[in-house]
Amino acid sequence: MTTKKDGTHCAVVLLPKQAEQRLTWKKAKTWAAKQGGELPSRPVAALLFANVKDKLNPSWHWTSDEDDASFAWLCTFTLGIQYDFHKSYEGGVVAVRLIPLTA
């Protein structure tokens, strides 16, 4: 479970398909949307590492979080480290779907 910036609590679903090739950040966002999801935020990437890292390729993967116009954050699913890097870097890509939870 995660909480969006607007306060909405959401269940996190890791979509089954992973990108077959490494992509730039912009292409990664487009690929995730075509899968019916989005790139994981930094907190969601940490949840993925903590709970399902055995289902993920052990490499750097893009998150949805930008640092500035040229840099965005990646998470490595080998150690769980997060680092900002140039958006032209070709990183791994997974997509998640956030399902809002209501009372």
Domain map (residue ranges) of the chain:
20-100
Per-residue pLDDT, 37: 98
Per-residue pLDDT, 5: 86
The answer to whether 30 and 45 have CB atoms below 8 angstroms apart is: no
Strand pairing partners for 3?
A: 9
Residue 102 to residues 9, 10, 24, 48, 83: CA-CA distances in angstroms? 8, 9, 35, 23, 33
pTM reported for the whole predicted model: 0.93
Distance CA 13, CA 46 (A): 14
Q: To the nearest whole percent, how much of the chain has pLDDT over 90?
A: 85
Residue 83 to residues 11, 57, 68, 77: CA-CA distances in angstroms? 25, 17, 13, 12
pLDDT tens readout for residues 58-93: 899 999 999 999 999 999 999 999 999 999 999 999
State yes or no: pLDDT of 30 exceeds 80. yes
State yes or no: pLDDT of 100 exceeds 80. yes
Distance CA 27, CA 3 (A): 25
Q: Nearest CA to 12 among 93, 100, 98?
A: 98
Instruction: State in words which class domain 20-100 has.
Output: alpha beta
